[in-house]
Amino acid sequence: MGKDSEKNLVGQPIFKQIIKMLPREQFDLLVKQCGSDRYYKTLFSWEQLIIMLFGIFSRCDSMGEVCDGMRALSGKLNYLGMDCAPSKSTAGDALRDRNEELFRLYYFALITYFRPL
């Protein structure tokens, strides 16, 4: 008896299932359009989106709580497409310095994408 490979979401955390529903191609086009990854070497825009969503779903109040929560999941971050938890300073710098225009445009793109549902 082998695993049923036809079921795409079996055995995956709910958070990963939500992330898989997001249109990554649309996000990548907006990243190129806004140039939001231009000066960043370690924390890219997609990872910042994952960090922000993790903070929202975890009900964290500060970037320190978000990073500590992600560090506690250290071995399971591969579900989120991340190799390691971000440091507080890197995540905080990206949140403070990166232009929020990308995330505003992606929000409206998601509304358009999910409207038929």
pLDDT in tens, 11-66: 667 888 889 999 999 999 999 999 988 887 888 999 999 999 999 988 999 989 99
Query: What separation in angstroms does the CA of 52 have from each of 6, 84, 87, 96, 101?
Result: 31, 15, 14, 12, 15
**Number of domains forming the structure of the chain:** 1
In a domain, 18, yes or no: no
Using the Cα atoms of residue 62, residue 26, residue 28 and residue 97 in order, give the sign of their dihedral: negative
In a domain, 39, yes or no: no
Structural domain harbouring 97:
49-117
pLDDT in tens, 9-26: 456 678 888 899 999 999
In a domain, 110, yes or no: yes
